[in-house]
Structure 1
Amino acid sequence: MRGIRVPLWLAALLIALLAAGGRADAHAVLERSAPEPGERLATGPGEVRLEFNEPVDASIGFLRVLGSRSERVADGDPAVEAGGRTLRLSLPRLGEGLYTVTYRVLSADGHPVEGSYVFVVGDPPEAIDASVFDLHRQLGHEGHGEGAATQLSTGEFLLYVVRIFYFGALLSAAGWFIWSAWAPRRSRSFDAGFRDWSSRWGLWTARAFLVAALLYVFFHATELMEGQPGSEWGTLFLETNIGRGWAVLLVLALLGPLVRTASRAVGLIWAGALLLVESMSGHAAAYEQAWLTIGTDFIHLAGAAVWAGGLAMLAGLWFADRKEAARFAAVFSGPALWSMIALAASGLVTAWMFLPGPDYLFYTGWGTLLLVKTGLTVLAALAGGAIRLRMRRGGMPQGALLKADAAVMAAIVIIVGLFTHISPLPANEPVYAHKMGEDMHLTLRVSPNVPGDNRFIVKVWLPEPVGEPKSVVLRLRSEDRPEAGPIDVPLERYEDDEFDQFSGFVKTAYRAEGPYLPFAGKWTAEIRVTDSEDNEKVHLETFRNY
């Protein structure tokens, strides 16, 4: 026994030291941060500072700041101060928006410590989704069209037909005014017969556009004002941007046949004004930097008018006078090629500005139609290149190529008529999840479920013998940023008066409001419920927003 006393005493001493060390080297805890979680700042901070209760090792982990699209806004490693207890990361100048601080470090005992929180700079605009393109909501017609039928009604079919007719007439009319000013200056070989035919063609395109504009405004305004009193029509055309744009559009359409006989400069101004009004009435006007999106859309429409309007003239002239068609084709082929390049470039820029990422092309019908339109544009460019190559060799444009190019143009106009009436972004839907179980019922609500401020509600039902939970924790994890730490949502208990009781269960309700969904994407809500006997139940609920 004496021989083992010393080893026993040494073992006891070692166990005591380890226990003491365990108490001293518990996992590190974030004690203070600047900016603070949920803090709203007038201007962006110059740095992020995290203070822990003990030294941490950031050489293996990271400290990052993410922007409203989950992109990194600060590069570099954090500075370590106060013996490893403080981490500092310098920031560039931050604009208005929601920013996420996410960190992952090692505590002194080698365990990873992670977390995330959100702070706000300025007064950032609300997240953009399909709701921003809802004209009914902009006019205060909340709830209009909810529960619409899944089949295409006769009225909706006529609306799409009118839209296709409208865009075809718009591009043809604007294109004729552009080409009537361009073509005669580029070729002196056009005879009186061409000028007479061109004048008659311009008259018919101007008249067609007038009819199309009247039908377009009538059908859209009727659909928009369905169920509204007659007094609201004045509000539509006098006090809303879309209504004022339609009024200007109708004035331009009425002036079209008269402008046809004016000077070339007046015709170009008319065509430019028409394309600008259309650019300001579409999706481009819904974005924050409207001057950029509208300008890009204007370039896109101008390129389409040069190509589609000129191609329509060439196709019509082909059946009227092949000789004059060949002369016009020689003038048309060069600008048409450049207009296709402008179409492709402005289309790419527009999609980049409209969509948060390439994956959004597959979320809506708008993206699908855009992909189809892009493929047709490539085919049109190939057909146009073949026509131009044949013309440069001194040959006549082939009828088959002209027909193929015209068919592709018609298909593109049909797609434009469809997808300009579809939201480029998906619609966000509130989260409502309810789980029934033998030992717990659970409800999670997130509304409106957009990047930014949201309201979170968690309801828990536990069996009466168990009683109310000791604690309920809600954490949000980004599935798109799996390396980022979870965001804790500070739930507060409240008295819920909704009638959703379950026999044999006790209900407790919790809620929180704030910017705890800082960017769009796929999220997992982790709900941890600890009962009075310290038993923990975990529920995971996955959802996404746009």
Structure 2
Amino acid sequence: MTAALRHARDRGRWLAWIAAIAVMLWPALAAAHASLVASVPAADAVLATSPQSFTLTFNEQVTVVRLQLIDPRGRSHPVSAIDQDAATLRFAPPVPLGQGAHLLSWRVVSADGHPVGGTLTFWIGTPGNRLPAIEVPDDPVRRTAIWLTRIVAELTLLMAVGGAVFLGWIAAAPPRGARATSIVTALLGLAALVVSVGLQGLDVLDLPLARLGEAAVWRAGGSGSFGDAATLSGIALVVALAALRWRGWNARLLSLGAVVSLGTAFAVSGHAATAEPRTLASAAVWVHGVSLALWIGALLPLALAIGKRDTAPATLRRFSRTIPAAIVALLISGVALAAVELGRLDALWQSDYGRVLVAKLVLVGLLLGLALWNRVRLTPRVLAGEGAAVRTMRASIMAELMLVIAILGVVGLWRFTPPPRGVTAEAAELVHLHGERAMATVTLTPGRAGPVAIDVVLQTADEAPLPAQALTVTLANPEAGIEQLSAEAQKTPDGPWRAELTAPVSGRWTLTLGILISDFEKVNLEGPIVIR
């Protein structure tokens, strides 16, 4: 054996040993983050009187990032005077504590540089299910920016995709300037989508507009269902741009692809993404978005098309035959969504969501009345070639677009008003989590804010029972202004794993299951879950 071969063999042996040691140490290295090992008071403790001091003990020394106490009225009180002794934090209550439920939320940086956090609940006096209605700090400038950007993004999306469909399927001949207008609209929509992702990240992390350039903000904004919806909306706009550049059947097929992507974008995000029955809600949102695009997107190119004497009659007749079907679908899907989201009739006037819906219905009624007047009174006159009727219809179409902008502005308020069904539901919440190596059926009982029991049935990807050594259940909701909650699940005699947590506030949470299959293998499953 030559010296070179011996050297290569020896080097291979060293690499094998290093790899083996790394594999053996990997579980320990992966679990090297700090964790809370003890607290005074303990999680879910019931105290007769207010504690004079608090203690948090970790498994290693930590650096405090944020520590806050939330009182029964939902007000957050930061803790700044902290006495740290190695891995133990001691501090006094920042304010006098009264009777009721309190939340202690902490976020620290472990020795390996990773931030970790958690929240524990304790009661003073008589325990109960009533938890603080957390007051989430609000930035009016950020909220206004989110609202305005949403209006621009949705309006341009509807107009660009609907305009591509109109030019490909309805217009007898493309009116002058219609393609260029739709292309500019689509490009503006793409820009608004990009900005909306950054604003979403600021909202998730509760940061001011000045922090918009940070990478963490964009990662937070692009994650979850909002990121999925933004991606699908971007695809819809790009496909619409391609349809506007092509002619004939290529343009028609591309415009249909843009419509499908638009409808799916509407269906994967927002309140309807968490409504039950999920299939009905998602289908209704899909139909609602598509119908709205077909109608609204046709208005501006129609206003340009009716000025062409040779092709205007054919275009107007096609529009009059096809758009009523879209309006009927729009109304039916809207009624279905209102029934799902409201849950009960009195929520129409007793909830903020219902009052926003009433305002929207008033504006929609005006829009429908204007559309009906256009069809019954103006369309015959335009078809007869009256020049004054053409000018009047164009002015009417512009008025319709102004009403659409007002409707989108009102609907944008739903971004900040949860639907009543998200508050009144009392039943258990059931979700399915899927991964390449494992899947889980998770049941929260009851499916509302407060103490919840989380039952987990683990299976392999081919639906066989999955044996596991340990299971960690984590709930996270950054928008609530508190840190994540975690608990080690216990195996029950009848098969499922069970963990008990106290979810302090309703809303959309991220559920994470850490499944330890063996000493060398851990699988994480993650998905959204709604707590009523």
Q: TM-score, normalised by structure 1?
A: 0.46
Q: TM-score, normalised by structure 2?
A: 0.48
